[in-house]
């Protein structure tokens, strides 16, 4: 997958989320209902991976409770934006930020207690996003390109007893996500959902227990 180069970003929006202040540039996903679905169900502990960190909001919330957080995003503008927000919200000592494609930039032995992913899921004409912001929603022709790749790779980066929280939409086959997690030996179920105009977004929890 192509990694775009980052020019000087302009932070055109400043938003508040509870006590957090977040700056967002036009090239970065602005937190929305899907972000909030994870945020309101988040009880972070140990070592957390925030996959697709965007503006860094979930990393910041996780860092208040967890020992340490690793934030990954393929969009270099997101990584820059997350760095700024992580600093101004006082948790830069607890979060590492990495630019890259899913688990590719992590060393094989990186094992987490919790993995979060508000995944891109919209079916798109183009196989590859044309601009950095499109990574936020572009799921390839089936809408499942990123989520399927994530499900294949995530279990080996999760501790026994560890938990994955993924947000997904009814637009891209939630049942398949649960089946694919189960095939990988994880116990997956929907723990929360929200109806939007054209879709329902669901929060899926997948646990790796002793039998996995
Ligand atoms: C829906 S946004 C979520 C952003 C943020 N976590 C939130 O909840 O507001 C999805 C994020 O995943 C990132 N992303 C998409 N494909 C990725 C990939 N292959 N590897 C890493 N990050 C990816 C996007 O750049 C985007 O920032």
Q: 200: CA distance to ligand 1 center in Å?
A: 19
54 located within any domain: yes
Phi, psi of 44 (to 5 degrees): -85, 145
Q: Where in the sequence is the domain holding 56, given as residue range(s)?
A: 45-139+149-200
Comparing 9-18, 57-66, 101-110, the range with the smallest average pLDDT is 9-18
* Model pTM above 0.85: yes
Check: CB of residue 82 under 8 Å from CB of residue 53.
yes
Residues in the ligand 1 pocket, defined by CB under 6 Å: 29, 31, 35, 52-54, 57-58, 72-75, 78, 101-102, 118, 120, 135-136, 146
The pLDDT tens digits for 43-61 are 999 999 999 999 999 999 9
160 located within any domain: yes
| Atom 9 in ligand 1: residue holding the nearest Cα | 31
Atom of ligand 1 nearest to the CA of 78: 27
pLDDT, mean over the chain:
93
Atom of ligand 1 nearest to the CA of 117: 6
Check: CB of residue 84 under 8 Å from CB of residue 75.
no
121 located within any domain: yes
The pLDDT tens digits for 148-170 are 999 999 999 999 999 999 999 99
Q: Is the pLDDT of residue 35 over 70?
A: yes
157 located within any domain: yes
What's the CA gap between 19 and 118, in Å, rounded? Answer: 21
Task: With cut-offs at 50, 70 and 90, classify the pLDDT of residue 142.
Answer: confident
- For position 117, which CATH number holds? 3.40.50.150
| Atom 1 in ligand 1: residue holding the nearest Cα | 136
31 located within any domain: no
Strands 200-207 and 158-169: antiparallel
């Amino acid at each position: 997958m192509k990694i775009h180069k980052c020019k000087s970003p302009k932070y055109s929006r400043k938003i508040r989320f509870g006590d957090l202040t977040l700056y967002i540039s036009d090239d970065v996903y602005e937190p929305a209902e899907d972000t909030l679905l994870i945020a309101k169900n988040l009880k972070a502990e140990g070592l957390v991976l925030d996959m697709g960190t965007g503006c860094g909001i979930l990393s910041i919330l996780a860092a208040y409770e967890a020992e340490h957080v690793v934030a990954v995003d393929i969009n270099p503008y997101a990584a820059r934006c997350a760095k700024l927000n992580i600093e101004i919200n006082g948790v830069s000592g607890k979060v590492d930020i990495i630019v890259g494609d899913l688990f590719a930039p992590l060393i094989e032995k990186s094992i987490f207690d919790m993995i979060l992913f508000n995944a891109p899921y919209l079916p798109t004409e183009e196989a590859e996003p044309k601009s950095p912001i499109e990574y936020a929603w572009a799921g390839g022709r089936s809408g499942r390109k990123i989520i399927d790749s994530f499900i294949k790779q995530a279990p080996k980066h999760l501790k026994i007893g560890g938990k994955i929280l993924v947000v997904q939409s009814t637009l891209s086959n939630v049942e398949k996500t649960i089946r694919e997690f189960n095939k990988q030996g994880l116990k997956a179920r929907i723990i929360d959902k929200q109806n939007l105009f054209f879709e329902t977004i669901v929060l899926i929890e997948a646990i790796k227990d002793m039998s996995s």
